[in-house]
Structure 1
Amino acid sequence: MHHYGRTKRIRRRKQANTGKIVISKEIIALSRWMKHESRKHGFRWKCHLCPSHFSETGRGMMTKQSLSCGDLLVSIPKQLLITVETVLMSAIGGKIKGKNLKLSSQQLLSLFLLQEKSKGVKSFWFPYISVLPKSHDTYGDFSAREMYLSPPKLRAQAQNRITDMKQAYREVLDSSLGEAILYEDFVWAWFCVNSRSVYYRSAGSEFVREDGNNLALAPYLDLLNHSGGAQVEAGYNEKRGCYEIRTLNPYKKYNQVFISYGNHDNYHLLVEYGFTLPENPNDVVQVDYDDVLEAAEAVFVSNMEKKQEVIAQHNLHRKLSCSLEGLSWNLLLMTRVLAMDWTELQHWKSIMTGVPVSDRNEALSRQIAKTVLTKYIQQNRELITKFPEQKSQSAVEKMLFSILQTEERMLQLTWSSVT
């Protein structure tokens, strides 16, 4: 193992944060197109960022100047946003209106991408289409082996989303739009929208399903990478007629600039966006309510019916998890309720102070927690042993393996804390 001096460590961090400008013909064409079309509509193309390659994240956006809190990162005129209005004014939109269909904004945007992709260089949107990924590492493209190697809760999450996507695809096929849309093509478009769209509140339309998903695609903006620590103000500026992003973080010149997709754990990031974050502060190991009850019964806890009533009435069965910080608050309280004798149960609210009820209660509470954790540690180890050697792992399998290693660490640390 190499032990770097302070100066060398600082230099390495700086190198990881600064980028090498990416000169690809597609990116150059997109940048020129954005600048030209913005000016054509009376906007001055404002962007202090340029696409670059970074050692830790791959492609991202580098700032060409120092940025302060409140500085504008990028401004995209409405004419260069792909909204549901854009779709409804297009050829595919005419067919949708002609058949009086009502589709979700994600379905509409997906159909539009497929329409424009089929036009090739003749499409107005070709410079944007050409920089979209050819494939995704999200749930729609998980192989059977990747699904098999996924933690059960992540697998269930992915399977639920696949069910939703297949339903959306069937609706499109049943609408008889006259388009021979292959499932794999729909999956590509669906995930381009799913992973790259921004919130945009369109005017209501009889052809758009009100499902709470108000989406639009913003060319160039989706080159920005996610960081849990990034803070931005983003939204459509009605007065200026453009979609704007302002940073609430300062950045040094030549550093990578980030946005945040929200406070998501690595399950969500992998399933929805196809990437994970190292040391993600939102990561936890979710614990099933039934597993805690099973552990309590295994150590012969009494008065279970009354205890479950107390737990349900006060929602202590929700947000059960463990992390690098140990048991979640609700999981700690739940194990203490389950460990109570009848006398303690009459005054169960005393646990809300966080102070142990009694030595006997604390010992039994820890035993319940330890029983659950032992089961989860065993399941985690069994899944880890099923992975192929690292050199044979796919990109998704590498991310899954990293997730399982993080969960193993959380479980072991929590197990030690209750032992």
Structure 2
Amino acid sequence: MLDVQQRLESLLQWANASSNELSKASNAAYVSLKLEVKDVENVGRGIYAVQQVQRNERLVRIPHSFLLNFTTVVAHITKHNSLIVLSDPIFSNLQIPPAKLDDVGKVYSKFTYETLTALSSFQIVSLFLILESQRPGSFWGPFMDMLPETEEMGLSPLVWTVQQHPEAEKLVSLLPRSARKHADAIHSRFVKDMAVVEALLKETDYFTTDRFLWAWMCINSRCLYLEMPLGKSTDDNFTMAPYVDFLNHLCDDECGIKIDTSGFHVYASTQYKPGSELFFSYGPHSNEFLLCEYGFVLNENKWNYIDVSDYIMPLFLPKHVDFLKRKGYYNDYTINRDGMSFRTEVALATLQESAPDDSSRLNSLVDGLIHGAAYEARSQALLLQILQKIARDSTKKLESVSRPGLPQQEAICVLHDGILEICSARGVTL
């Protein structure tokens, strides 16, 4: 295996040479000479400025033919089946290399258009990554070579669970309650997708659980939003983008993205001095989300919140549940450093009404006609009791973790530290 710098050079040569060969020069891949990728110990890969970067300066352009997503994968796979003609206009601007009649090509040739388009984006891109990563001379080889190994994503609870980490059971038990639920939901998605892809490859030797885990985590941790015309839900709206996926996350956007007919563009949203790392915001995500979905946490994260749904919902009577469901305010109750969300405010106000449907005061609050001053004292008192329970649980779990410990334990500690910080900001004392 080549070292990181050699693989990076191969990636850039591939994108530039192949795009010039497949498309017009005006639509070729572009990476600013002011950028470099560095692999920093204990930090990982990132994009750094080697010269001054100005605000709004274009940094990267990746043509659509070099984006890996539902549309491009369908175009690549169906190239191997002469009976399939892609007539949809979304395929017309894609430049796809000729089919290869190798072992992987033979697998592709058996898939019908209907089979492929019935898959979700996660399923079809996972399938493609598994096959192309084992395909000698793959067109996508330079991109595959720069994807992380599963071990590099090892902070993710999904990886602990699927790889049966020796401490997996203990690690899961140490997670905050809402993080465990989030991790369980991700595992369910993973298992569902794995069953579909395994069935498609059951007559081959290409599928293993470890390979699927690698492919699925590469997608989940590196995909970027891009609307997919053939998608069946918003979950299908993503793409993988060579080079762009080296941009690490920061709470505030420092790089912007524009998508047009010529490709996927990255611009600087701020100035960068030489030696500075460039960042891109993946969204307003809490550490719980970042750990469960991407496999990392931030020591400082302004988007942290506490999910208090499991503490509030058991207090509801059927009349409260009916009212909140009709109004669209059932479940998803959170609090952050600045206070409770409006959903939480509505839920706690509803608990104070014996006949919520008949309460003009409550209905006015829900409709945004009045503030919740009449409910505030009791709502704050109940919320304080809930936060005290949560803080005690986090404190107890922190006491059972040795520091320094496993990297996974350190990440869990960051989650609990964030919870305690919010509890303290909302008046909890232990």
* Short-chain TM bin: 0.7 to 0.9
Maintained 8 Å contact 2:255/2:278: no
Letter aligned with residue 212 of structure 2: F
- Kindly tell me: are residues 339 and 255 of structure 1, through their superposed partners in 2, closer, same or farther at Cα, counting changes over 3 Å? same
1:46 aligned to 2:30? yes
Q: Residue 32 of structure 1 aligns with which residue?
A: 13
Cα deviation, residue 274, structure 1: 0.9
Q: Distance in 1 between matches of 2:353 and 2:46?
A: 54
* Structure 1 residues 405 and 234: CA distance shift in structure 2, 3 A: same
Three-state SS of the structure 2 residue aligned to 1:119 is coil
* Superposed displacement of residue 77, structure 1: 2.4
Q: Answer yes or no: is the 8 Å Cα contact 1:295–1:371 preserved in 2.
A: no
Q: How far apart are the structure 1 equivalents of 2:285 and 2:60?
A: 24
Residue number in structure 2 paired with 1:210? 232
Deviation at 1:53, TM superposition (A): 4.4
**Is 1:103 paired with 2:123?**
no
Q: SS of the residue aligned with 2:148?
A: coil
Matches for 1:403-418 after TM superposition, within 5 Å:
403-416=415-428
- 2:158 paired residue number: 140
Cα 1:377–1:103 shift into 2, 3 Å: same
Which of the pair has more CA radius of gyration? 1
Aligned pairs (5 A) from 1:348-359: 348=362, 353-354=370-371, 356-357=373-374
Instruction: Give the aligned partner of residue 368 of structure 1.
Output: 382
- Count residues in correspondence: 377
Q: Is the 8 A contact 1:197 1:218 kept in 2?
A: yes
Aligned pairs (5 A) from 1:242-391: 242-288=263-309, 291-292=311-312, 314=327, 318-332=331-345, 334-335=347-348, 338=351, 347-348=361-362, 353-354=370-371, 356-357=373-374, 364-387=378-401, 389-391=402-404
Q: 1:114 to 1:355 in 2, by over 3 A?
A: closer
SS in 1 for 2:303: coil
**Match for 2:412 among 400, 407, 416?**
400
Residue 86 of structure 2 is matched in structure 1 by: none
Cα RMSD, aligned residues only: 3.4
1:209-267: CA deviations, max 9, x gaps?
623313332211111111121154434421xx332222333323332111222221111
User: How far does residue 397 in structure 1 lie from its aligned partner after superposition?
Assistant: 1.9
Where structure 2 has 5 or more consecutive residues not aligned to the other structure, the ranges are 81-104
Letter paired with 2:31: C
Are 1:226 and 2:216 counterparts?
no
Given that 2:19 and 2:29 are in contact with CA atoms closer than 8 Å, whether structure 1 keeps it comes out as yes
- Take 1:39 and 1:190, find their aligned partners in 2: how far apart are those partners? 30
Closer, same or farther: CA 338–216 of 1 in aligned 2, 3 Å: closer
> Partner residue of 1:117?
133
Helix, strand or coil at the partner of 1:110: helix
Q: By how many angstroms is 1:340 displaced?
A: 6.9
CA distances 1:15-38 after superposition (whole Å, capped 9, x unpaired):
xxxxxxx97322232233333333
Q: Structure 1 pair 56/182, CA: closer, same or farther in 2 (3 Å)?
A: closer
Are 2:78 and 1:88 equivalent residues in the alignment?
yes
Check the 8 A contact 2:256/2:266 in 1, yes or no: yes
Segments of structure 1 that go 5 or more residues without pairing to the other structure are: 1-21, 297-303
Distance 1:336-1:177 versus aligned 2 partners, 3 A rule: closer
State TM-score, norm by structure 1. 0.77
Q: In the TM superposition, what whole-angstrom CA distance separates every residue of 1:92-148 from its partner, at most 9, and x where no partner exists?
A: 43222289453222222112212122124x223222212211112323312423222
Q: Are the structure 2 counterparts of residues 30 and 373 from structure 1 closer, same or farther at C-alpha, using a change threshold of 3 Å?
A: same
Instruction: Please tell me whether the aligned partners of residues 285 and 322 of structure 1 are also in contact (alpha carbons under 8 angstroms).
Output: yes
- Structure 1 residue 316 displacement after superposition: 5.5
Range 191-200 or range 51-60, more displaced:
51-60
Larger mean CA deviation between 378-387 and 326-335 belongs to: 326-335
Shift of 1:356: 3.7
Give percent identity, aligned residues only.
22
8 Å Cα contact 2:59/2:266 also seen in 1: yes
**Structure 1 CA distance for aligned equivalents of residues 351 and 177 of structure 2:** 26
Q: Does 1:68 align with 2:54?
A: yes
